[in-house]
Amino acid sequence: MRKETRCVHGANDSKETNGAVSFPIYQSATFSHPGLGESTGYDYSRLQNPTREHLEKVMAALENGVGALAFSSGMAAASALMELFVPGDHIIVSSDTYGGTSRLFRNISVKNGLKFDFTDTSDIELVESLISEDTKAIFIETPTNPMMHVSDISRLSALAKANSMLTIVDNTFLTPYFQQPLSLGADIVLHSGTKYLGGHNDTLAGFLVTKSPEISEKLRFIYKTTGACLSPFDSWLIERGIKTLALRMEKHQKNAMGAARWLENHSKVRKVFYIGLESHPDYKVSTSQTSGFGGMISFEVDSEETVKKVLGGVRLISYAESLGGVESLITYPMLQTHADLPMEERLSRGINEKLLRLSVGIEDLEDIVEDLAEALGD
């Protein structure tokens, strides 16, 4: 089954026998048993729920994994992921990563005894130089948030395997429609399902997908013990969003390419970071491991005054802290997504007072460009 069809029909393994085209919402916390030692396969919704199970099968199929787990948010998924490790374990992480992930690792995971090195994971030799006997995993975000750096998943996965380590990839920006890390050698994929998978800015969700039955079993134990499972209704919302994922991602990409090229030629824009532009330094790596470039753009303008003008001047585009929905959103990383990073580190990454991040929606491209043009001015 091709990916466009899989988005619509899911895993094609429904237990629903009543003919419902839309898989039902099993809004039940607990399930009765036919008798002693007998079960319907469901006991308590923290352990599993038919609606959530159906969604998890869809995600496993889309990512070519053996198992998926649906969480109440992307950060809940990341938190559960860290429970695979024990005090003293060392993890190498993409330095330019989502601020919430960095906050989790630096404040919660470090407190729990884990060690981290944040580095440019697009530099294989640099990553290799940080490997020690305590290193258990490489955590990659590709493309990164917000600077759009791209890491070579296949090469890093091979390096990890050679050193008996896990490769973990945050695939939120490109989704399994444009990028499938497990097929490139990764062991675990992380998603904020809130973003493109849901696609409508109306619910929170997170996912972990793996191709290892052993890892899947470990994560399932952590999942049922810590309890950050996705509710039946939110599971249904996310699955409904996935049905249009292929259509939306193609439109996001088409609009993003058009907006990026327009921004490149604006007098007040100094730099444009979009992995679909041939001028992007990681363009060749992107084309080698993805089937598309997604809808995320970051761009640097000429002054902080222009930033204020844009954020106060957009009308169609909303000034809001998220991404991946049908509506275009613009964000100021320095004060929003990456506000918890020390200023020196933010600036070293290029997250300065002139950087904006744009999640390009599925509106008409001309309307998006007209809105940017009016907000930027001449």
Q: With beta carbons less than 8 A apart as the criterion, state whether 49 and 232 touch.
A: yes
Amino acid symbol at 126: L
Query: CB 73: neighbour CB atoms within 10 A?
Result: 19
Candidate list 6, 57, 98, 234, residue with the active-site label: 98
Nearest CA among 27, 32, 77 for reference residue 51:
27
Verify whether residue 46 is a known catalytic residue. Answer: yes
Residue at token pair 């599925």: 362
Nearest CA among 299, 316, 278 for reference residue 355:
299
Per DSSP, which regions of 108-251 are E strands? 115-119, 135-141, 166-170, 188-192, 206-210
- Give CA–CA dist 110/282, Å, rounded: 31
Candidate list 3, 46, 254, 309, residue with the active-site label: 46
Verify whether residue 170 is a known catalytic residue. Answer: yes
- Give CA–CA dist 95/197, Å, rounded: 25
Candidate list 152, 170, 234, 371, residue with the active-site label: 170
Order of all β-strands in the sheet with 269-273:
269-273, 296-301, 355-359, 329-331, 318-319
| N residues, the chain | 378
- Give CA–CA dist 152/167, Å, rounded: 12
Q: With beta carbons less than 8 A apart as the criterion, state whether 327 and 201 touch.
A: yes
Cis peptide before 24 (omega within 30 of 0): no
Verify whether residue 98 is a known catalytic residue. Answer: yes
Q: Which two tokens stand for residue 206?
A: 């997170």
12: left (phi over 0), alpha (psi -120 to 50) or beta: left
DSSP state of 183: G
Verify whether residue 152 is a known catalytic residue. Answer: no
- Give CA–CA dist 127/129, Å, rounded: 5
Q: Which two tokens stand for residue 140?
A: 């990659």
Nearest CA among 349, 356, 311, 310 for reference residue 333:
356
Candidate list 52, 195, 346, 357, residue with the active-site label: 195
Query: CB 248: neighbour CB atoms within 10 A?
Result: 25
What residues act catalytically?
46, 98, 170, 195
